[in-house]
Amino acid sequence: MKLNRVEKLVINNPLRVVQQKFEIRRFRKMFRLEPGAQILEVGCGRGAGAGLILKNFHPARLYALDLDFCMIQKAKKFRFARQEHLSLYVGDGTQLPFRKASMDAVFGFGFLHHVPDWQAGLAEVARVLKTGGVYFMEEIYPALYQNPITRHVLLHPRDNRFDSRDLKSALDANKLLLKETVECKQLGILGVAVKTNNHQKT
């Protein structure tokens, strides 16, 4: 689901970039990703996160995708017209145009909670990751975006939402082993999960 005007103001904002800088720093401490990786960012918005991924993880190629044509246009126009390691796409995170096991890492900054069928979005993340590949995620829970105030101001899917328990159980179902987290169980999570061959709970 695309953002409404209010959330675009919240997201396309210098303070959001500051927040993402802190988060990327935390991700780097959580997991060491070698330079030269194939990386995908799903729900990249106007590309602020993509810029930080390029700078901090030095991928061979970063594929950045968003459902919203206007966001991708902004990213192309203002940021990365001549960025040789970056490919920008308009696309749907529930039907990723990439081969199975083709990515060393996937980043999702506030992407999954915008997807009505978030289980399909997470299954796609797991499908495109190689075994040993890593999912870097920043997500928020309904208490933050569906409380009596935010539900009227922001636009999110209303049904089939995930909280901390739902997300962890879906990660396990997709063989994504949660390695490190910073989480406030009511509000949201910053986490790193590694694609394995097995489920965590056997």
Ligand X SMILES: C[S@@+](CC[C@H](N)C(=O)[O-])C[C@H]1O[C@@H](n2cnc3c(N)ncnc32)[C@H](O)[C@@H]1O
Residue closer to ligand X by CB (options 19, 200) is: 19
Residue closer to ligand X by CB (options 11, 30) is: 11
Cross-strand partners of 146: none
| Distance of closest approach, residue 63 Cβ to ligand X, in angstroms | 12
8-37 residues in contact with ligand X (CB under 6 A) are 11, 16
Cross-strand partners of 184: 188
Residue closer to ligand X by CB (options 44, 178) is: 44
List all residues 6 or more positions away from 176 whose beta carbon is below 8 Å from its beta carbon: 122, 125, 126, 129, 135, 193, 194, 195, 196
Residue closer to ligand X by CB (options 11, 177) is: 11
Among 37, 39, 40, 44, binds ligand X (CB under 6 A): 44
Alpha-carbon distance of 100 to 97, in angstroms, equals: 10
Cross-strand partners of 87: 63
| Distance of closest approach, residue 46 Cβ to ligand X, in angstroms | 7
Q: Are 41 and 64 in contact (CB under 8 A)?
A: yes
With b meaning 16 or more CB within 10 Å and e meaning fewer, what string describes 150-168? beeeebbeeeeebebeebb
Binding part of the chain for ligand X, among 23-31, 60-68, 78-86, 169-177 by CB under 6 A, reads 60-68
Among 24, 37, 39, 42, binds ligand X (CB under 6 A): 42
91-120 residues in contact with ligand X (CB under 6 A) are 92-94, 109-111, 114-115
Q: By CB under 6 A, how many residues form the interface with ligand X?
A: 24
Alpha-carbon distance of 123 to 42, in angstroms, equals: 13
Helices 164-173 and 118-128: crossing angle in degrees, nearest 10, is: 40
Q: Are 60 and 37 in contact (CB under 8 A)?
A: yes
| Distance of closest approach, residue 90 Cβ to ligand X, in angstroms | 9
Among 66, 104, 124, 139, binds ligand X (CB under 6 A): 66
Q: Kindly list the residues in this chain that would bind ligand X in the complex (CB under 6 A).
A: 1-3, 11, 16, 42-45, 48-49, 65-68, 71, 92-94, 109-111, 114-115
